[in-house]
Amino acid sequence: MRARQIAGRSLVGYPDSVRRLFSSAGPVAVTVGAALVVLLASGRAQATPLSTALGTLARSGAQLTAPAPKARIAVEAEPPKSGAPGDVTKIAALAPDKLPLRPKIKACCGYPISLKEGFRLSFYWLAYESEYAGLDYDTAIYTPQGFFIGRFPSAFVYELKLEGSGILLDGRVLNYAGECNYGMGTCFRTLDPKQDPLGAGVQGRRLQAFRSIAVDPRLIPIGATVYIPELAGIHMPDGTIHDGCLRADDQGGAIKNAKIDFFVESYLNFKEIGDNLWWHLKATPILDEPRCAYLRTDELRTETNEQTDWVMAHKRRVPMRRAEKLALRKIKRNRAIANAWMKRHYHLGSKRGAKIARGK
């Protein structure tokens, strides 16, 4: 079979040097090293695959010369030029084997961490001192080191603690810094407005409006990109159309289990996005979606944030399915109760009920 293929010049799988030998028109002189024959311990000679191929070359009319030992194979014949009568480089049948073409599907390879709409979508924004400027400045706040920041309205301080970040009238940006023994028991720190104009999330990550989310690190790693198909195609207050790609930049004490907190910068933006979503605040988060790779920061700390409890994530699916089946049974039972009540009060099963139905 090998000799038949060589005679027909089907050289798929052979090196380029051997391929050029067969493409030449005249006789070929090949220099062969001593490595063509392997001497066994018994003294008998066993032909190697290369020696078998060269033997076939000799039978087909090529001239072979044996040089001195340890010499390398050298091809003395030059291949024909492109377009010459002996050129076979353009023949598809003689081309080397290639891997099949595979299309790049950018919508591939992401994996959901819950059932469809298994997460609840909430929102958070900045606290602005300007919205409380008419109230009494009766609450003092401090830094974790005990330095006095200022006095502000208690309602503003409460919202600042709830949201985590806020902007003062003088342009300073305050950020939550944890519990302390000063003032109201919660301390804050000031940020550089040029570096963090909208505040900072966990690990000092810069918050970005309509991109940053707060998550539970047990389910979604900090710094991971998340694709939410429910947000794709929704008009944002800044005039753009969202592509559904988000990044986990923050976490919170109230963000536990199947909940995602979407950073929208202001309360008015929250109302507008809620209207565009028809207040259907459910999400199906998908991790490692290739279309969201542009949001990755490729930081070393992102690699060390892998704290996802996959056992808990998969165990949650069982009670979620049970709750879904229970909800369907409740809906079916409530419909049966409603139908029985209608029959009892409006006599839908009698002739009188039929007349009422026709009258309507």
Burial environment of residue 131 by CB neighbours within 10 A (0 to 12, 13 to 18, 19 or more): middle
For 153, residues 6+ apart whose C-beta sits below 8 A from its C-beta are 129, 132, 135, 136, 137, 138, 139
Of the listed ranges 86-95, 116-125, 226-235, 296-305, the one predicted with least confidence: 86-95
**73-77, 98-102, 236-240: the lowest-pLDDT one:** 73-77
Confidence of residue 84 (pLDDT cuts 50, 70, 90): confident
b/e per residue, 100-126, with b = 16+ CB within 10 A? Answer: eeeeeeeeeebeebbeeebbebbbbbb
Is the pLDDT at 31 greater than 90? The verdict is no
State yes or no: pLDDT of 331 exceeds 50. Answer: yes
Q: Give the model's pLDDT for residue 208.
A: 95
pLDDT at 119: 93
Q: What is the mean pLDDT of residues 25-39?
A: 40
Domain segments of the chain as ranges: 2-94, 111-312, 318-359
Q: What is the pLDDT of residues 337-350, one digit of tens each?
A: 988 888 888 765 55
Contact 305, 221 (CB under 8 A): yes
Interior angle at CA 357, CA 353 and CA 360, nearest 5: 140
Q: For 178-226, what is each residue's pLDDT tens digit?
A: 998 888 889 999 999 999 999 999 988 999 999 999 999 888 988 889 9
The CA distance from 249 to 185, in Å, is 25
Mean pLDDT for 74-91 is 63
Residue 305's pLDDT is 64
pLDDT at 240: 94
What is the band of 55 on the pLDDT scale with cuts at 50, 70, 90?
Answer: low
> What's the rounded mean pLDDT across residues 154-177?
94
Rounded mean pLDDT, 231-242: 94
Residue 286: band (very low, low, confident or very high) from pLDDT cuts 50, 70, 90: very high
> Which residue type sits at 79?
P
Return d(Cα 17, Cα 28) in angstroms, integer.
12
pLDDT of residue 9: 45
Q: Poorest-confidence range of 77-81, 142-146, 324-328?
A: 77-81
Say whether 261 sits in a helix, a strand or coil.
Answer: strand
Closest CA to 54 of 38, 66, 71, 42: 66
| Mean pLDDT calculated for residue range 99-108 | 54
What's the confidence (pLDDT) of residue 176? 94
Beta-carbon count within 10 A of 247 CB: 22
pLDDT for residue 19: 58
Q: What is the mean pLDDT of the chain?
A: 76
Under 8 Å between Cβ of 277 and 237: no
Output the pLDDT for position 326.
Answer: 85
C-alpha distances in Å from residue 54, one per residue of 17, 95, 260: 12, 21, 69
Report the residue count for the chain. Answer: 360
DSSP code string of 205-258: PBP-TTTEEE--TTTS-TT-EEE-GGGTTPBPTTS-B--SEEEEEE--TT--SS
Give the pLDDT score at 323: 77
CB-facing half-sphere around the CA of 97: CA atoms within 13 A = 7
Which residues of the chain form beta strands (DSSP E)?
A: 29-31, 37-39, 45-47, 63-65, 74-75, 111-112, 119-125, 127-128, 139-142, 148-152, 165-167, 173-179, 186-191, 212-214, 225-227, 245-250, 259-265, 282-283, 286-287
The average pLDDT across 140-166 equals 93
Residue 46 has pLDDT above 70, yes or no: no
End-to-end Cα separation, the chain, in angstroms: 87
Distance from C-alpha of 225 to C-alpha of 246, rounded to nearest angstrom? 6
Output the pLDDT for position 20.
62
**Residue 108 pLDDT greater than 80, yes or no:** no
> Checking DSSP bridges between strand 245-250 and strand 212-214, what pairing results, if any?
parallel
Bridge partners, residue 37, by sequence = 47
Residues 6+ apart with CB under 8 A from 338: none
Name the token pair of 188: 């804050």
Q: H helices then E strands: how many in the chain?
A: 9, 19
Q: Which amino acid is at 291?
A: R
Distance CA 254, CA 261 (A): 10
Answer yes or no: is pLDDT of 269 > 80.
yes
Q: Please count the CA atoms within 13 angstroms of the CA of 221 that sit on its side-chain side.
A: 15
Q: What pLDDT digit, counting tens, does each position of 303-323 carry?
A: 666 666 656 666 666 676 777
